[in-house]
Amino acid sequence: MKKFRPVIAAALALTFYTFADILIWQRIFETNQMVQYADVYHTGWFVSLAGYAILGVVLMWGAWKDCLYFLVSLFVGAFSGLEDVLYYILDGKPMPDMLPWLDRNPMILHVSREGVIGSVTFWMAALVILYLVLYQWKRKTTQENGGRNV
């Protein structure tokens, strides 16, 4: 369980972050026709993400791999399109054909549903590789050298 701590922490943080996004954006801003305040909302959205990131690092302090993996996976999840996919899954609504608000995001292949899902798949694969490099490569090297840390 401990070796999956940063993965679980990032998944939980991203899930609650997405729920907050649904509740605040959709239930308050869209419902009350306040979309003209989107810039202020997005600033607050980023500040809350930073808060999740800081809290996670504080709780994992002393385990640099956990801190690094948590931060990278949280921000990749938030900006790779995963948060947008989760948004629609958790809200129980179909994902639209186009997500034009992601147009300027360099982590998104294309703003179509398929493009966003493809981007999410690519970045999740990158996170799996990062996890293997951080947590499995060193263990395998240590085992091959008779338990000595080289």
| Least-confidence region, from 35-44, 103-112, 113-122, 125-134 | 35-44
| pLDDT score at 105 | 95
pLDDT over threshold 60, residue 141: no
Quick check: 10 and 77 in contact, CB under 8 A?
A: yes
Q: Which residues pair with 112 in a beta bridge?
A: 98
Amino acid in the structure at residue 101 = W
Q: Which two tokens stand for residue 80?
A: 């790779």
C-alpha torsion angle, residues 50, 7, 131, 120 (rounded to 10): -70
Q: Which helix (H) or strand (E) holds 30?
A: none
The pLDDT tens digits of the residues spanning 47-98 come to: 999 999 999 999 999 999 999 999 999 999 999 999 999 999 999 999 999 9
Quick check: 43 and 64 in contact, CB under 8 A?
A: no
Q: Which residues pair with 98 in a beta bridge?
A: 112
Mean pLDDT of 129-150: 71
Please tell me which residue, 4 or 150, carries the higher pLDDT value.
Answer: 4
pLDDT band at residue 10, thresholds of 50, 70 and 90? very high
